[in-house]
Amino acid sequence: MKFLNTVITGTGSYIPTEKISNSEFTRQTFFEKDKSRIDSPGEVVVDKFRDITGIAERRWVSEGQTNSDIATIAGREAIKDAGIDQETLDYIIVAHNFGDVIKGTIQSDALPCLAARVKNKLGIKNPCCVAYDIIFGCPGWVQGVIHVDSFIRTGLAKRCLVIGSETLSRVVDKYDRDTMIFSDGAGAAIVEGVHSNEKTGFLSSAVVSNTTEEAYYLYLGQSNAPDSNPDIRYIKMHGRKIYEYSLSNVPLAMKAALDKTDVPIGEVKKILLHQANEKMDEAIAKRFFRLYGLRPEISEVMPMNIHELGNSSVATVPTLYDMILKGSLKNHSIDQGDILIFASVGAGMHINAFVYRQ
């Protein structure tokens, strides 16, 4: 019996070269959302931040780079890794949240859409290669892969490029401590329909959108600094609410995806979770396994790159996956046949997960 499988056949990523260490924030003046000054010494603020998030440094794009630039680099890497003719792509899907934002401005530019820009920069001439964007918060890249699986199973596509790319450094408020969380980067994958004698690749998925009181846990708002221009807005979040929401809901979505398969929990080798916050991600993974009565060593099953790369939104999951496959993440590897769970949570609020056999 032949199965039509949705398989990732190539990956690529772009890690910006500009390293921004925590020490660069020790002299920054921070304010609360109510405009009151945070009087704690800079070293205390930064040390507390690292204890909570695990982030020691982050990467920001250089002055002349845009989001579509780095998305194109990651996409080109994935095309090369898969060894395909880029003119055979049926879809290019780019997940992001702010489009191209030129340094020194705060204006989001998504006209034309980033996928069209990437297709243009790659030089793809095939008019039947459809290019569109996904704006789905941090889970955008995972959602793009879920889209492609549906396209392949219904015969709408055979081969697609899915990219997650963001330049959050262009939309942060330097007077807000949360600035230290956000980073830039791009990750990409070629996703294809492949016939084989066994069931492999994409096995199942689950998606959740909570948009009542949760809708504005992440939002655009004015600077925390007193007398700031109210017409200029930056990325803002209610961190505690996001933390509590994620711990309550992400493990359930992951379980919903796994329970759609015949894969026992004991066969899950890696969880590739959105790199949002070290303590939050560890707590999510622990709660997920406790749903099955298990307490594994989380550091062995859940790789992380947030310590050096920060939170690059839609780019964290594909970047993490690419790094593991390319052998650039210590103490972690993925072998043929391994069961993986990809999962993310972010603005919306949205959660998604899919189960994958390597």
Q: Give pLDDT, residue 1.
A: 73
Do 35 and 131 fall into the same domain? yes
Do 138 and 262 fall into the same domain? no
How many separate helices (H) and strands (E) can be counted in the chain? 9, 13
Burial classification of residue 330, based on how many CB atoms lie within 10 Å of its CB (0-12 exposed, 13-18 middle, 19 or more buried): exposed
Q: Which amino acid is at 142?
A: V
Residue 190 near residue 161, CB atoms below 8 Å: yes
Residue with tokens 């980073």: 183
Do 218 and 274 fall into the same domain? yes
Which residue range is the domain that position 236 belongs to? Answer: 201-357
For residue 80, what are its two tokens? 């090369």
For residue 143, what are its two tokens? 């959602």
Q: What is the CATH number of the domain that holds 304?
A: 3.40.47.10
Instruction: Assign 95 to helix, strand or coil.
Output: strand
Prediction pTM value: 0.95
Do 241 and 108 fall into the same domain? no
List the chain pLDDT tens, one digit each, 358 residues. 789 999 999 999 999 999 999 999 999 999 999 999 998 888 999 999 999 899 999 999 999 999 999 999 999 999 999 999 999 999 999 999 999 999 888 788 999 999 999 999 999 999 999 999 999 999 999 999 999 999 999 999 999 999 999 999 999 999 999 999 999 999 999 999 999 999 999 999 999 999 999 999 999 999 999 989 988 999 999 999 999 999 999 999 999 999 999 999 999 999 999 999 999 999 999 999 999 999 999 999 999 999 999 999 999 999 999 999 999 998 999 999 999 999 999 999 999 999 999 9
For residue 88, what are its two tokens? 């055979």
Do 191 and 205 fall into the same domain? no
Do 72 and 101 fall into the same domain? yes
Residues contacting residue 41 through CB under 8 Å, at least 6 positions apart: none
Structural domain count of the chain: 2
| Strand order, beta sheet including 201-209 | 201-209, 350-357, 339-346, 268-273
Residue at which a domain ends, from 144, 174, 196: 196
Alpha-carbon gap, residue 358 to 88, rounded angstroms: 23
Alpha-carbon gap, residue 96 to 78, rounded angstroms: 18
For residue 278, what are its two tokens? 């070290």
| HSE value, Cβ hemisphere, 13 Å, CA-based, for 200 | 17
Q: Give pLDDT, residue 204.
A: 98
Q: Give pLDDT, residue 199.
A: 94
